[in-house]
Amino acid sequence: MNLILDQNSWHTDAEFTYAAEETVRVGDLAEVPFGKGNRLKRALVTETGVLPSEEIDPSKIKEIASVDPQVRLNEEMVRTMQWMRQRYGIKYYDALHCFIPPGKPAKPGKSKRPYARTKGEVQEVKALTDEQASAVGRIEDSMNQEKGEIFLLHGVTSSGKTEVYMRVIQHALDMGKTAILLVPEIALTEQIVRRLLGRFDREEIAVLHSKLTRRERFDEWMRLRNGEAHIAVGARIGVFAPLENIGVIILDEEHESTYKSDQTPKYETVDVAVKRLMYSRGVLLLGSATPSVVSYERAREGIYTLIELKKRYNRTPLPLVEMVDMRKELRSGNTGIFSRRLLSSMKGALASEKQVILFQNRRGYSTFISCRDCGEALRCPDCGISLVYHKHEHAAVCHYCGRKFPLPEKCPSCGSRRIKYFGVGTEQVEEFAAREFPDARIERLDLDTAKNRTEINRIIRSFSKGETKILIGTQLIAKGLDFRNVGLVGVISADVSLNIPDYRSTERTFQLVTQVAGRAGRGSEQGLVIVQSYTPDNFALQAAASHDYQSFFKQEIVIRKFMEYPPFTDLIIAAFTSENEQTAMETAERCKNYLERAGLPNSDKILMPKLSMNFKGKDSFRYHIMVKAPRGSRNKYIYYLRYFNRGLLKQKTDCAMLIDVNAYSSY
């Protein structure tokens, strides 16, 4: 039989042949003697009944020492693991640890349950709406026929997507199958657990995410593995839930960047879900009010089946969105951060006892600090990122590594004293709001004020109860929160996310504005949203203002095609890290030449290696190259890159290589 070692090293990243007295199964965990000293190591059985290759001397084949009687995986998990290794260019070890949490089974009576005190939230549902019924019908049909279909459920906020999820999960259980439901953020787990508890037996549900304690996570894993619980809920690691016969995997808010892992292994949740479902021929259900451009294009091409929920359940009209041209405000002499229109609407809302949300996707006071004379911006010496002025702390803060620096009196480059602060952060919005509305209670929710869960809950609760009149925040307030009495939402500067140099910035802006706008008018009255911008004609802002996903998509997809961006290509990054800058750069360049010689599609268009600005390793340097791999060539590229990496290992260079595909953060 063959097995892989539970060992974090490229040198042992291979299958090894062993013999066993007893019968073992694929997915068993074993202890095996390894190497010259025959030290015992944990291993996973990947193949049984195979004849050893002729190159191996039969007398050298060792025997396994023991098999773990309590914990084992199944064949599907092992195959998915092997596939992940190829697809992402990672080690067996990295894939293995996605599937097995650290720890051991608990001693009797010592196991721990997370969310044990969370109460179920029962919502009365007498009948599904026509749209919901037809959506559920189509998905259930597909589950019955085991077609392994992928659905994209595009439903405006409050159209009742969660109700659809619960029906589909019920259907999976009725079929004797299991279900996985994922949310994009750990903070949203509790809310969804509450709704599931209102519908399903507590024993059926297990939660998986990375903020559980080790004990809790292992025990929840065991309950799924032993078939006690049939529904796994959680954040992206939930996709590895040890379930058999998976009937459905659901990704709520499928467009969120958190579904792409930003640590090794850098997997995409949707890929892993598709792979796993091939075995049980289950359904993948992707839900969103603002689907990602990639998913929507796949639906258009017929790879996914599109289902739409166009009406809000309670029929509240979508909010009215108005754009304000900030260039005109400037010309007419208003240099403040609130336009006259926003200010008068705030007065109006507060006068009629409505609450106000102000959204600005930057925390701090001023978002950058620069010299008037030489134009140099103040940067973090470790990260190379512009520092943000925090008035409260009286410091210049790096939002990447968190280091704080004293405010400079002189420009570090030219010595000039003319230092100026630009760009508006939430702290400044708060200051101006307080000046305009001294009698209104104002609170701010961003990473600076949200120090812990209790504080976040306090801020949210006081707003829900109507004590706070104006809530100011970053994207923390954009998601999922359901407030009843918000009459007005102001977007202070919609340009912030548009100006991020990333091919997804337009998509991101459309999603953010749509999401924030969705916070207005959730009661019975229509809400008002005012979006301030210096580029009010931008198509994504216009489309968000008219709640027109189609119009946004049609324009964005043309740009993606022209620029050769996803979904038409995969952006593959190969990054090289070394203590020696020269080594990192030269290795990157060698890799570039190597790919060019391989003659893969687009490999002639790779640019010179770049220093990675977002890399924060101490005393080391990272250089990367990027390839736009046309469809169908991704796997070939990964294959070549793995081969290149193997060469590096053989030469024992002090240069580490990593591969990332379609990363959300910039390198």
Residues that bind Zn ion (CB under 5 A): 371, 373-374, 376, 380, 382-383, 398, 400-401, 411, 413-414, 416
Compute the distance between CA of residue 662 and CA of residue 184 in angstroms, rounded to an integer: 17
Asked whether position 129 contacts ligand ADP by CB under 6 A, the answer is yes
Q: Which residue has the tokens 């049980």?
A: 280
SS3 content of the chain, % helix, strand, coil (to 5): 35, 25, 40
Binding partner of 157, given ligand ADP, Zn ion, none, CB within 5-8 angstroms per partner class? ligand ADP
Nearest to 293 by CA among 566, 12, 509: 566
Spatial separation of the C-alpha atoms in residues 448 and 450, rounded to whole Å: 6
Of 227, 262, 238, the closest CA to residue 114 belongs to 238
Site membership for ligand ADP, residue 511 (CB under 6 A) = no
In whole angstroms, the minimum distance from the beta carbon of 402 to Zn ion comes to 7
Closest CA to 239 of 258, 226, 255: 258
Separation between Cα atoms, residue 95 and residue 83, nearest integer Å? 9
Within 8 A by CB and 6+ apart from 548, the residues are none
The site partner of 502 among ligand ADP, Zn ion, none (C-beta below 5 to 8 Å per kind) is none
Q: Residues 13, 140, 149, 163: which binds ligand ADP (CB under 6 A)?
A: 163
Q: What is the CA radius of gyration of the chain?
A: 27
667 binds ligand ADP (CB under 6 A): no
Token reading at 192: 């969804």
Interacting partner of 575 out of ligand ADP, Zn ion, none (Cβ under 5 to 8 A depending on kind): none
The tokens for 598 are 């391989």
Instruction: Report what 313 binds from Zn ion, ligand ADP, none; CB cut-off 5-8 Å by kind.
Output: ligand ADP
Give min distance, CB of 481 to ligand ADP, in A: 12
Indicate the SS3 state at residue 567.
coil
What sign for the dihedral angle of Cα 248, 253, 258, 260? positive
HSE-up (13 A, CA, CB side) for residue 149 = 19
The minimum distance between CB 161 and ligand ADP, in angstroms, equals 3
Residue 65 sits in the site that holds ligand ADP (CB under 6 A): no
Query: How near is the Cβ of 122 to ligand ADP at its closest, in Å?
Result: 10
Q: Using the rule CB under 6 A, which residue among 155, 425, 490, 536 binds ligand ADP?
A: 155
Please state, as a whole number, how many other Cβ atoms lie within 10 Å of the Cβ of residue 463: 24
- Comparing CB distances to ligand ADP, the nearer of 157 and 538 is 157
Quote the tokens at residue 8.
């974090």
Q: Which of 159, 355, 474, 577 binds ligand ADP (CB under 6 A)?
A: 159
Q: Are 29 and 65 in contact (CB under 8 A)?
A: no
Piece of 6-14, 125-133, 331-339, 411-419 that binds ligand ADP (CB under 6 A): 125-133
Report if residue 27 touches ligand ADP, rule: CB under 6 A: no
Of the candidates 540, 524, 569, the residue with the CA atom closest to the CA atom of residue 661:
569
Q: How many residues bind ligand ADP (CB under 6 A)?
A: 14
H/E/C letters for each residue in 338-350? CCHHHHHHHHHHH
Minimal distance in Å, beta carbon 384 to Zn ion? 8
Q: Of ligand ADP, Zn ion, none, which one sits near residue 411, judging by CB under 5 to 8 A according to partner kind?
A: Zn ion
253 binds ligand ADP (CB under 6 A): no
Give the x/- contact pattern for ligand ADP in 306-335, rule: CB under 6 A: -------x----------------------
Choose between 80 and 159: whose C-beta lies nearer to ligand ADP: 159
By beta-carbon proximity to ligand ADP, the closer residue of 123 and 582 is 123
Distance in angstroms (rounded) separating the CA atoms of residues 324 and 328: 8
Decide if residue 6 touches ligand ADP (CB under 6 A).
no
Interacting stretch for ligand ADP, rule CB under 6 A, among 158-166, 292-300, 361-369, 544-552?
158-166
CB of 464 to ligand ADP, least distance (A): 15
Q: Is 474 in the site for ligand ADP (CB under 6 A)?
A: no
User: Given candidates 125, 187, 407, 613, which one binds ligand ADP under the rule CB under 6 A?
Assistant: 125
Please select the residue that binds ligand ADP; options are 67, 128, 320, 395, rule is CB under 6 A: 128
To the nearest whole angstrom, how small is the minimum distance from the Cβ of residue 433 to ligand ADP?
29
Helix (H) or strand (E) holding 558: helix 549-562
CB of 461 to ligand ADP, least distance (A): 19
Q: How many angstroms from the chain centroid is the CA of residue 231? A: 21
Nearest Cα neighbor of 88 from 488, 531, 597, 637 is: 637
CB of 166 to ligand ADP, least distance (A): 8
Q: Are 420 and 370 in contact (CB under 8 A)?
A: yes
Q: What one-character-per-residue DSSP string does 236-268 give?
A: GGGGG---SSEEEEEEETTT-GGGB--SSS--B
We find the least distance from the C-beta atom of residue 232 to ligand ADP, in angstroms, to be: 19
The reply to whether 188 sits near ligand ADP by the rule CB under 6 A is: no
Burial environment of residue 623 by CB neighbours within 10 A (0 to 12, 13 to 18, 19 or more): buried
Smallest distance from the beta carbon of 366 to Zn ion, in angstroms? Answer: 17
Among 85, 87, 91, 161, binds ligand ADP (CB under 6 A): 161
- Look at residues 523, 531, 546 and name the one whose alpha carbon lies nearest to residue 352: 523
Which C-beta is closer to ligand ADP: that of 308 or that of 322? Answer: 308
CB of 155 to ligand ADP, least distance (A): 5
Query: Which of 74, 80, 132, 367 contacts ligand ADP by CB under 6 A?
Result: 132
Side-chain-side CA neighbours of residue 518 (13 Å): 23
Residue 578, both tokens:
């070394």
> Which residues bind to ligand ADP, rule: CB under 6 A?
123, 125, 128-129, 132, 155, 157-163, 313
